């Protein structure tokens, strides 16, 4: 796979000097728990980046619950973490790849090519008796240069146009019940963007929590033509990123993220809301 690496792959390269390992563990609703678990135990040499403090901007009227970070500040944080253009970056979490995929997407969006998500996550690594530590690495700051790839991102105006015209495939990555408007635990309105189809992001993982291979991912998205223009969203632009990664693995070449996602969409009173619609089958059991 192009964007996923196995635990054995990482173990074999753990101390190679051009490798930067990033811990992105984070629990929604418990914003301090990610860093606390990192400080308790993590993969050797891993640095920690926080979803809300490092990989998002403060919430404003628009932009969703996890607005994209200011690019200058992001570049500073990445450089402080030891990431430069020649670095190979391996990212892990304990949330099925959701948080790791957010950083993976940000790196790709800012032009960094060698970014990978670790299959499974920290608990699997620890359960395999691979090395862990509570020691935080000494990092020599470097300069992270941004080479922005604006074609990976869409704003609300383009999403409105796609919804109205049916000109692009809109993928909603949230749980089926949230997509259908049957429940909404996070946001002020329930439902989905009109015209969107539902592919719950955990559907790209198998029953044991591994990422599916490219063939299985193609089967998962088989109703979508390979040449389709695709816009992916979720609640706040985080769990859409595993679907973006998976679609790229499956060979889809025109995939964009609506980073503001549902929480941005409903911040505009004039934006319509749909309920019901086609939903995906129940997702695989998660560990």
pLDDT, tens digit, for every residue of 259-279? Answer: 999 999 999 999 999 999 765
The secondary element (H helix, E strand) that includes residue 232 is strand 230-233
> Is residue 268 a contact partner of residue 156, using CB atoms and an 8 Å limit?
yes
Partners of 233 in beta bridges: 172
Q: Residue 28 has what pLDDT?
A: 83
State the Cα–Cα distance between residues 107 and 129, nearest whole angstrom.
30
Q: Residue 280 has what pLDDT?
A: 54
> Is residue 154 a contact partner of residue 178, using CB atoms and an 8 Å limit?
no
For 238, the 3-state DSSP assignment is coil
State the Cα–Cα distance between residues 192 and 65, nearest whole angstrom.
16
Q: Residue 239 has what pLDDT?
A: 98
State the Cα–Cα distance between residues 239 and 261, nearest whole angstrom.
10
| Of 183, 188, 199, 191, residue with least CA distance to 239 | 199
pLDDT, tens digit, for every residue of 201-221? Answer: 999 999 999 999 999 999 999
Quote the pTM value. Answer: 0.95
- Of 24, 234, 241, 283, the active-site residue reads 234
Partners of 170 in beta bridges: 231
Could you read off the pLDDT tens digit of each residue along the chain, which spans 287 residues? 799 999 999 999 999 999 999 999 999 888 899 999 999 999 999 999 999 999 999 999 999 999 999 999 999 999 999 999 999 999 999 999 999 999 999 999 999 999 999 999 999 999 999 999 999 999 999 999 999 999 999 999 999 999 999 989 999 999 999 999 999 999 999 999 999 999 999 999 999 999 999 999 999 999 999 999 999 999 999 999 999 999 999 999 999 999 999 999 999 999 999 999 765 544 433 32
- Is residue 24 flagged as an active site residue? no
Q: Residue 279 has what pLDDT?
A: 58
Q: Is 97 left (phi over 0), alpha (psi -120 to 50) or beta?
A: left
Q: Residue 284 has what pLDDT?
A: 39
Structure tokens at 224: 């979508």
């Amino acid at each position: 796979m192009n964007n996923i690496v196995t635990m054995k792959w990482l173990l074999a390269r753990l101390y190679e000097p051009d490798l930067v390992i990033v811990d992105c563990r984070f629990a929604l609703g418990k914003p301090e728990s990610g860093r606390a678990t990192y400080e308790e135990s993590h993969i050797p040499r891993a640095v920690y980046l926080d979803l809300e403090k490092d990989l998002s901007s403060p919430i404003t009227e628009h932009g969703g619950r996890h607005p994209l970070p200011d690019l200058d500040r992001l570049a500073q944080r990445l450089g402080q973490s030891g990431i430069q253009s020649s670095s190979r970056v391996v990212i892990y979490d304990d949330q099925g790849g959701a948080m790791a995929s957010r950083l993976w997407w940000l790196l790709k969006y800012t032009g960094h090519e060698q970014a990978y998500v670790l299959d499974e996550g920290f608990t699997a690594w620890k359960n395999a008796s691979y090395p862990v530590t509570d020691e935080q690495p000494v990092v020599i700051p470097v300069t992270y240069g941004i080479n922005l790839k604006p074609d990976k991102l869409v704003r609300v105006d383009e999403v409105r146009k796609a919804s109205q015209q049916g000109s692009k495939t809109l993928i909603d990555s949230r749980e089926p019940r949230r997509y259908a408007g049957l429940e909404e635990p996070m946001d002020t309105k329930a439902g989905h963007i009109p015209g969107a189809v539902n592919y719950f992001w955990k559907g790209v993982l198998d029953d044991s929590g591994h990422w599916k291979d490219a063939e299985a991912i193609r089967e998962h998205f088989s109703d979508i033509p390979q040449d389709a223009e695709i816009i992916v969203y979720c609640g706040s632009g985080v769990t859409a990123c595993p679907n973006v990664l998976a679609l790229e693995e499956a060979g889809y070449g025109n995939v964009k993220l609506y980073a503001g996602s549902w929480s941005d969409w409903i911040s505009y009173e004039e934006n319509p809301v749909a309920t019901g619609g086609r939903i995906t089958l129940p997702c695989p059991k998660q560990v």
